[in-house]
Structure 1
Amino acid sequence: MALGVPILIKLVPLLLLYIIIIVAVVVRRRASRRKAVGFFHPYTNDGGGGERVLWCAVKAVQEESPDLDCVIYTGDHDASPQSLAARSINRFGVKLIHPPKVVHLHKRKWVEETTYPRFTMIGQSLGSVLLAWEALCIFTPLYYCDTSGYAFTYPVARMFGCKVICYTHYPTISLDMLSRVQARSSMYNNDALISRSVFFSQLKIVYYKLFSWMYGIVGSCAHLAMVNSSWTLTHIQLLWGIPDRIKRVYPPCDTSGLQVLPLERSTEPIKIISVAQFRPEKAHLLQLEAFALAIKNLDANMPRPKLQFVGSCRNEADEKRLQHLKDRASELKLDSDVEFHKNVNYSELVSLLGGATVGIHSMIDEHFGISVVEYMASGAIPIAHNSAGPKMDIVLSEDGKQTGFLAENVEEYADAILTIIGMPVSERLEMAAAARKRASQFSEQRFYQDFKAAVGPIIRNTST
Structure 2
Amino acid sequence: MAKPILTWVFPLLLAVLLRLISAVIGGRRSRKKAAGFFHPYTNDGGGGERVLWCAVKAIQEQSPDLECVIYTGDHDASPETLNSRAIDRFGVKLLFPPQVVHLYKRKWVEETTYPRFTMIGQSLGSVYLSWEALRKFTPLYYVDTSGYAFTYPIARIFGCKVICYTHYPTISLDMLSRVSSQSSMYNNDALIAKSALLSRCKIFYYWIFSWMYGLVGSCAHLAMVNSSWTRSHIEELWGIPARTKRVYPPCDTSGLQKLPLERPTVPPKIISVAQFRPEKAHPLQLEAFALAVKNLDSELPRPILQFVGSCRNEADDKRLQNLKDQAIALKVDDNVEFHKNVMYSELVRLLGGAVAGIHSMIDEHFGISVVEYMAAGAIPIAHRSAGPMMDIVLPEEGMPTGFLAQDVQEYADAIVRIIKMTDAERLEMATAARKRASKFSEQRFYEDFKTSIRPILSRSS
Pairwise TM-score range, normalised by the shorter structure: over 0.9
Amino acid at match of 2:142: Y
Question: How far does the alpha carbon of each residue in 1:102-151 deviate from its partner, in whole angstroms, 9 at most, with x for none?
Answer: 00000000000000000000000000000000000000000000000000
Give the match's secondary structure for 2:396.
coil
Paired residues in the alignment total 461
Deviation at 1:220, TM superposition (A): 0.2
Could you tell me which of 431, 453, 460 is aligned with 2:451? 453
The residue that corresponds to 1:332 in the other structure is 330
The residue that corresponds to 2:434 in the other structure is 436
Question: How far does the alpha carbon of each residue in 1:65-111 deviate from its partner, in whole angstroms, 9 at most, with x for none?
Answer: 00100000000000000000000000000000110000000000000
Amino acid at match of 2:74: D
Deviation at 1:16, TM superposition (A): 1.4
Deviation at 1:17, TM superposition (A): 1.3
Distance (Å, rounded) in 2 between the aligned partners of 1:4 and 1:171: 45
Amino acid at match of 1:458: I
Deviation at 1:8, TM superposition (A): 4.2
Distance (Å, rounded) in 2 between the aligned partners of 1:162 and 1:389: 31
| Match runs of 1:308-319 below 5 Å | 308-319=306-317
Distance (Å, rounded) in 2 between the aligned partners of 1:283 and 1:22: 44
Sequence identity (%): 76
Report the aligned-residue RMSD.
0.7
Amino acid at match of 1:218: V
Could you tell me which of 410, 413, 421 is aligned with 2:408? 410
The residue that corresponds to 2:221 in the other structure is 223
Stretches of structure 1 that go unaligned for 5 or more consecutive residues are: none
Could you tell me which of 101, 115, 118 is aligned with 2:116? 118
Deviation at 1:336, TM superposition (A): 1.1
Q: Are 2:219 and 1:212 equivalent residues in the alignment? A: no
Give the match's secondary structure for 2:69.
strand
Question: How far does the alpha carbon of each residue in 1:218-241 deviate from its partner, in whole angstroms, 9 at most, with x for none?
Answer: 000000000000000000000000
Q: Tell me the TM-score normalised to structure 1 length.
A: 0.99
Give the match's secondary structure for 2:245.
strand
Could you tell me which of 76, 79, 98 is aligned with 1:78? 76
Amino acid at match of 1:281: E
Give the match's secondary structure for 2:33.
strand
Distance (Å, rounded) in 2 between the aligned partners of 1:218 and 1:8: 33
The residue that corresponds to 1:356 in the other structure is 354
Amino acid at match of 2:364: E
Could you tell me which of 246, 267, 270 is aligned with 1:269? 267
Distance (Å, rounded) in 1 between the aligned partners of 2:214 and 2:316: 31
Deviation at 1:10, TM superposition (A): 3.3
Could you tell me which of 164, 168, 171 is aligned with 1:170? 168
Could you tell me which of 279, 282, 285 is aligned with 1:287? 285
Amino acid at match of 2:17: I
| Match runs of 1:183-262 below 5 Å | 183-262=181-260
Give the match's secondary structure for 2:143.
strand
Distance (Å, rounded) in 2 between the aligned partners of 1:127 and 1:147: 17
Q: Are 2:370 and 1:380 equivalent residues in the alignment? A: no
The residue that corresponds to 1:305 in the other structure is 303
The residue that corresponds to 1:135 in the other structure is 133
Give the match's secondary structure for 1:406.
strand
Question: How far does the alpha carbon of each residue in 1:332-367 deviate from its partner, in whole angstroms, 9 at most, with x for none?
Answer: 111210000000000000000000000000000000
The residue that corresponds to 2:387 in the other structure is 389
Deviation at 1:7, TM superposition (A): 2.4
Distance (Å, rounded) in 1 between the aligned partners of 2:361 and 2:140: 37
The residue that corresponds to 1:48 in the other structure is 46
Could you tell me which of 94, 98, 103 is aligned with 1:105? 103
Distance (Å, rounded) in 2 between the aligned partners of 1:229 and 1:41: 20
Amino acid at match of 2:273: V
Distance (Å, rounded) in 2 between the aligned partners of 1:6 and 1:120: 38
Give the match's secondary structure for 1:336.
helix
Distance (Å, rounded) in 1 between the aligned partners of 2:133 and 2:77: 15
The residue that corresponds to 1:424 in the other structure is 422
Distance (Å, rounded) in 2 between the aligned partners of 1:349 and 1:123: 35
Deviation at 1:14, TM superposition (A): 1.2
